[in-house]
């Protein structure tokens, strides 16, 4: 199988390790193969691809889409290195308010699957990072929502204390102040 799937500490969040075929020309890997992902429990089809480029210290997040535009995401890095975070925002979940992280890079070629019901964010650790992610639903500006990156109750251990943020990411409420819809 061209993938190894590692369930993280929160149910549904999966670190995907692709098999990399290397030779003198370089390398080749599959980034997605529906039958393998379905067998691993990742069953929602991907319908949109997104791409971002950011510089060291940029933090994007913590974002999610409200229903009916809720999204699962498969995050990968094609240049650089990121600290990727998924926060469980499902009110009835036994892990509500907990987070998990993974370091994704062009070097390790790992991917992180973040299902619906999670807020997602990432911090750029390298000089530049190019992030590609697949989404299980289309983006809707009206459904966009977020949680403040440094929510005191979440206690996310970001590797940078003063990240570069978009104006909107500076103004999101704390998790205990929002109705996530999950």
The token pair at 26 is: 């370089």
List all residues 6 or more positions away from 75 whose beta carbon is below 8 Å from its beta carbon.
84, 104, 111, 112, 113, 114, 120, 122, 131, 132, 133
Nearest to 121 by CA among 142, 138, 104: 104
Q: Mark whether 133 is an active-site residue.
A: yes
Residues in the chain: 182
Q: Mark whether 63 is an active-site residue.
A: yes
CA–CA distance, 67 with 80 (Å, rounded to integer): 32
Which of 64, 113, 120, 133 is catalytic? The answer is: 133
Q: What strand order describes the sheet that includes 111-114?
A: 3-7, 14-18, 111-114, 73-79, 128-135, 48-55
CB 83 within 8 A of CB 18: no
Beta pairing partners, 72: none
Which of 63, 64, 113, 120 is catalytic? The answer is: 63
Catalytic residues: 63, 133
């Amino acid at each position: 199988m061209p993938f190894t799937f590692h369930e993280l500490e929160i149910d549904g969040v999966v670190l995907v390790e692709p098999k990399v075929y290397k030779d003198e020309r370089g390398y080749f890997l599959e980034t997605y193969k529906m039958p393998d992902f379905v067998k691993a429990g990742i069953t929602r089809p991907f319908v949109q691809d997104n791409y971002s480029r950011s510089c060291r210290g940029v933090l994007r997040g913590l974002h999610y889409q409200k229903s009916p535009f809720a999204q699962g995401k498969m995050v990968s890095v094609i240049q650089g290195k990121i600290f990727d975070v998924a926060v469980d925002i499902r009110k009835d979940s036994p892990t509500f308010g907990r987070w998990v992280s993974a370091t994704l890079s062009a070097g390790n070629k790992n991917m992180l699957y973040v299902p619906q019901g999670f807020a997602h964010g990432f911090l750029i650790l390298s000089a530049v990072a190019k992030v590609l992610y697949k989404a299980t639903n289309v983006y809707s500006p009206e459904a966009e929502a977020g949680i403040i990156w440094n929510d005191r109750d979440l206690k996310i251990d970001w590797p940078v204390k003063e990240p570069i943020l978009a104006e909107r990411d500076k103004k999101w409420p704390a998790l205990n102040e929002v109705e996530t819809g999950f």
